[in-house]
Structure formats: C-alpha cells, structure tokens
Chain A
Amino acid sequence: MSGNEHVLDVRDLSVSFRTARGKVRALRHVDINVPRNKIVGIVGESGCGKSTLINTVLRLLAPNAVIEDGSEVIFQGDDVLKMSNSQLTDLRGQRISMVFQDPMTALNPVISIGTQMTDILYRQKIPMAQKRKRAADMLAQVGIPDAVRRLDDHPHQFSGGMRQRICIAMALMMNPSLLIADEPTTALDVTLEAQIIHLMKELREEFECSMLFVSHNLGLIAELCDEVIVMYAGEVVEQGEVHDLFHRAQHPYTRMLLECDPARIEETRQELPTISGSVPDLIDLPKGCIFSPRCPHRYEPCNESPPDHYAVSDQHSARCFLVRDGR
C-alpha cells in the first residue's frame, strides 16, 4: 500500500456543510484509493456524496464546506488538503483532470474551442502555434473531424456528443495522472454513451492514466471499471474488484441497487423495483447502521452502532453486520 501503487489515497475523509438548519455531514470517514492505471467506479444514488468527494479531491468545494480534522487526500504522495493555492493551480488540469456531467453547459459559450483548449496549456512556455497544434491533435484523437479548422468554432456549433468529446480532449491536454469523470454520459443518449465509453477505453490504453469514474449506471461501471465503490448517504458501504462485487454483492444496498438496474431484470414485470424509503437526513444521523431504516435484513446489532468494514475476500469488503456474523 505504498504511494507508488496508488495514484490517489483518500483516508478517513469527512466533509460537512454548514447550513441554516445545522451541519450537514455529507461525507463520513471515507477511505478509498485509486491504483495506478486502474479505473475505479463509484456508484450510488443522487445525494450519496459522490460529487462532494470529487470536489474535495480537486478542492472545489462550496465556501460553506468544512473538511473535518484527520482527513487526508493523498495524491501521488502529496496531501491535497494541505496544498497552497499555487500548488492547487499546479494540480488542477495538469495532474488531475476532470470531465463533467453535462457537456452542453461545461464549455464557455463565448470563447472558441481553440482558446479554451490552449488556455489549459498556459503553464507551458511554448509558442502559440505549437499549443494550437497540440489542441488540434487532441481533437483529432477524440474523433473530431477536420480538427484544425474547427479550433476557431464555438461550443454551440457542436452537437452534444461532440462537445463531450471536446471536454475529454481538454481533460487529457496536460496528460494528467488521474482523470475524474463525473457521470460523463448521463446527459447523452444511448448510442452516444456507447461511443464515449468506447473512446474512454481507447484513451485509457493510450494515455495510461488512472480514472475515477462516477456513475449511477451499473452496466457502464461493470463494462469499464476494474474496481467498484458503492456509496450510500456519505459512506462507502461496499468496495471490491468489479466481478467479485457484482457477482457476490454482500451489502443489502448493493444487492438492491443491482435488482433495480433495468438492464439486469430478466423476468417481465409490471413495475420497476425500487428501494423503498429515502436517504436519511444527514443532519440528524441514525445511531446504528446508516442504511438500517431502509434495510429489509435489519436485526439487533444494526440499531446499536455503525458497522465496520468487514472483509468478504482479499479485495472485497462490505460495511454490514451480516458479513461479520456470516448470515
């Protein structure tokens, strides 16, 4: 478990937001890591803390966020949480890059694609012509035809799928060591989604970067990722190697998520299965297991204290008393 093996190591990360109602404890004691050259997927419902996690890694949190003491986000040996502003500027876009959810709003509408791309290279002291060449090369690589000429076009002149390709090209401009993709295909239709996923797979070979892939689409995660992290209400509830986790899901929440995935439903049903109940109030947390109010397998220990991470196998653990007790 040395820093060499993991590009990113998040240790005991807790983040809260100060609000008028009280402290919203959005992330609690999150431990995850992204090994070199692997793709790690994060799954969970909306509001489970995925975005907060990403924003913490890039230090783009809203001003009312508080990172609790003891949290560490180690990226290639440096603690992101202790970085100065200039170190952060060095980190963002250069060592860690990001692809956003909605390509329709992710690009600045009044600045040309070429300028937006070459601006990312501002840290490199090379002539403009060379920067533009690099930008055009990147565009060509993500499959934008006639890339050189299109550098002077503006975002509204591209379709949604094209824009997401541009965003990916921008993210890879500086050859980052870690690429964070925040639901990069949610806003696109299915055909485009497949294309983008295919592209990301290709680029992964090419650029040798690690990837943190956030999605609520289990199919995508299964297809693309090496490891999966399941999050629920600000906690990691299960994590493991992708096949192991999907075939031997231990946490009731993961199992229910899998049952709810329309792609995996085999028999014909009238209604789509859902998980009853809703995400707990993150201001006033239950005493025991965070999932217990919605859990069909709840038993005594669940109400007493929160469970720990219990190993299912070498690379697979779940935060559930069922695993500890072997039930």
Chain B
Amino acid sequence: MTAAIETTEAGAPIKREPRFSWLWQLLRDPLGCFGLILVLLIVLAAAGADILSPYDYKALDIKARLAPPSFEHLLGTDNLGRDTFSRILHGGRIALYVALVSVGGSLVLGLILGMLAGYGPRWLDNLLMLLFDAVRAFPVIMFALAVITVVGPSLETIIFVVIVTSVPGYARITRAATLSLKNTEFILAERSLGAGTVRVMVSHLLPNLIAPLLILASMDIPVVITIEAGLSFLGLGVKPPTPSWGSILNDGYSFIRNTPWLVIAGGIPLIITTLGFTFLGEAMRDVFDPKMKKDR
C-alpha cells in the first residue's frame, strides 16, 4: 500500500505492465505451474546430481544385484548392483545436456537458415525449402538408425541427428516471419534511411520471433529427450557406463521378469520430464500467443 502511494507522490503515474507479468500469468494456469515445478525438479536434480547421489553411479555392489527399493537403495539396484537412484540423477544430466545442446543448435541454425530463405534470393529459398521437405520425409528414428550404422553410436551422433531433423521446424517459422516482415512499411522506411539490411532484419525480427521459437523449443525438449532415451534404450545411444534413462530402461527390459523396479524407475523421470516440459510449453503458448490458444 505505502509503496503504491509513494510512487504516485513521486509524480509519475506508473501504468506499464510489470516486467514479469507473463510469469504471473504462467503461474496462474494450474497446469503451467505444475509443469514449471516438474521442470525445476528435474533441472535441480540433474544439477545437484553429485551432491544428491547417495552412491557413485559407477560403483558396483554385486551382492545387492537387482535389489528392490529400500532405505539403502531408494530405487533399488540394477543387474550389476549399481544404485538406480544415483544413476537416474546422473542420467538426467545427459538428457538435459543433449536437449539443451541440440535444441540450442537447431534454434541458431534454424534462425540463420530461415532468415536466409526468407530474405535471400528466390532460388535459395526454393532450394532450402526443398531440403527441409526432404529432411521431414524421414521417420526420425529411421534416419537416426541409418546415421548410427555408419558413424557408430555416441552422444554426438544423437545431437547431430536431432539438429538435422529439427532445424526445418525452426527455419520455417523464421522464414515466415521474415517474409511477412520483409515488405512492411517500417522496414522499407528504415532501409531507405540507410540502415543496414541485416541489422534491421535482426533487430526487428528477433523480438517478434522470441515467443514462437521459445514455445517450439520448449515443446521440442521432451521430443529430444525421448529420442535420446529411445536410442539409448535400443543400445544405440550413449555408451556405457555413462548413465542414461534409456540404458536403465534397457537393463530393466532385459531383466523385466526378475524385477519390475528397473523399468519403473527408469520410466518415471522420463514421464516427469516430458510431462513437465509439455505442460510448460502449452501454458507458455497460451500466455505468449493468445491467438493460438483457440480456447483449449
């Protein structure tokens, strides 16, 4: 109350939107709030994996192989007696690392290619669009499998595959925005005033693009994490002993008749992550882009 009065007394009637109003809007949406909590949970767990892990994720305890959950091993142990809980915490790191690097890479590359397509000469636009169509013609996993056959499975292979397959999505959005911006009057005006083309495009394009690209990115993160876990589950992702949710699931699958706990424990963080990012992305879309909301 007092703060409000003081600002009025100061003379400037403040009526602008508070800087973090979008955050409040996000938190008012129960599902968005829920999503944010799940995402924070996963991020904190991955960041603090070293502190939070009760055991070394590589440490073997042969006597306690395939143990069910207990106070000693919160989520039980795997076939080599490694503590599942510790492995899941560290697996989160891999998942988030792959997601961040490849979504970030796709974002940057998509932004550049999209602007090139939208602003460059017509033949380049056509060529790029054709290329994007070609990339989207593959079932993603099949493309990944083909690349892995030649290059061999690794973290880098996964990131490469994800970037190649998700760049078209970002590039298309950027291209559409660039095209619609290209001929607006204020751009023509600024150019006639001698502003550099690229600088004008970037400075006007980015503010318009941040929201849709962020929404797409937050929707893409669970997809990427799923691909990483999926390939690791197939034994074609990260190499052991690096822990990944997918490889935990793979171990769990092999021993599914001995213990259900590995499969259950490996699946839960994946579900939490994908649900969290999806709910967050949906809520963000509703907040930033009310037109797209269409009264969900």
In-complex A–B contact (CB below 8 Å): no
